[in-house]
Amino acid sequence: DQQVKQNSPSLSVQEGRISILNCDYTNSMFDYFLWYKKYPAEGPTFLISISSIKDKNEDGRFTVFLNKSAKHLSLHIVPSQPGDSAVYFCAASANDMRFGAGTRLTVKP
Amino acid sequence: DAGVIQSPRHEVTEMGQEVTLRCKPISGHDYLFWYRQTMMRGLELLIYFNNNVPIDDSGMPEDRFSAKMPNASFSTLKIQPSEPRDSAVYFCASSPGGNTEAFFGQGTRLTVV
């Protein structure tokens, strides 16, 4: 049972534009949400997180939005840079940590 | 700290053989997670431990899979007997608390032929 879903396997954007990655979850017990970035042949690395008591968290070019009523979160990257090209995983936690299938982001120069 | 350390980085084995993957978490971290990365399901949680105790192993695909954490600095994931469909990248991660950032190892790429 996939409790965390990333329905877009890939996304391509132009350098300088905004990248929006989406994630949906089904378990209302999740109270902490994270985004990870993964390069080939490496483990995922933490990018940004948000607690369920907030609806927005910003860190430089990265902003995560949480809509609890819709059980939806998104990651905005602006402006997008070629170095942002990677696979992005959404994760949700209620002590355990469940991941989505990932979205491959390609930022074109 | 050197981070989460997994060994081996690559493992090629024949079908039917036993495979053991190893993980050393970051010192002081109370949670340890084992994941399997597949194209279809992304990072699939297999099992996680809190203070060396298995909390949820519902993600372990079959009885052929087992995991142990004999002490706070070591965990193993064993597959016996291995099958070609077990071929994947297996990640170990640790975190200092339940709802905090988890730190990943570099993974073990397993190929069962």
**Interior/surface letters B29-49, b for 16+ CB within 10 angstroms, e for the rest:** bbbbbbbbbeeebbbbbbbbb
| CB contacts, 8 Å: A45 with chain B | 104
Asked if residue A107 lies in contact with residue A85, where contact means CB atoms within 8 angstroms, the answer is yes
The tens digit of pLDDT for each residue in A1-45 reads: 679 999 999 999 999 999 999 999 999 999 999 999 999 989 999
Whether residue A43 lies within 8 A of chain B, CB to CB, comes out as yes
Hey, is the C-beta of A41 within 8 angstroms of any chain B C-beta?
yes
Query: Cα(A39)–Cα(B26) distance, rounded to whole angstroms?
Result: 21
Q: Does the pLDDT value for residue B1 go beyond 80?
A: no
Q: Nearest C-alpha of chain B: how many angstroms from A6?
A: 9
Give the chain B residue nearest A93 (alpha carbons): B99
Q: Which residue is closest to A35 within chain B, CA to CA? A: B101
Confidence of residue B76 (pLDDT cuts 50, 70, 90): very high
Distance in Å, alpha carbon of A37 to nearest chain B alpha carbon: 11
Alpha-carbon distance A38 to nearest alpha carbon in chain B (angstroms): 10
Q: How confident is the model at residue B2 (pLDDT cuts 50, 70, 90)?
A: confident
pLDDT band of residue B41 (cuts 50, 70, 90) is confident
pLDDT tier, B95 (very low <50, low <70, confident <90, very high otherwise): very high
Quick check: B50 contacting A, CB < 8 Å?
Answer: yes
A101 touches chain B (CB under 8 A): yes
CA B96 centroid distance within chain: 17
DSSP A51-88: ETT-SEEEETTEEEEEETTTTEEEEEESS--GGG-EEE
Instruction: Give the tens place of pLDDT for each residue, A58-84.
Output: 999 999 999 999 999 999 999 999 999
CA distances from B85 to B15, B17, B81, B107 (A): 10, 13, 12, 17
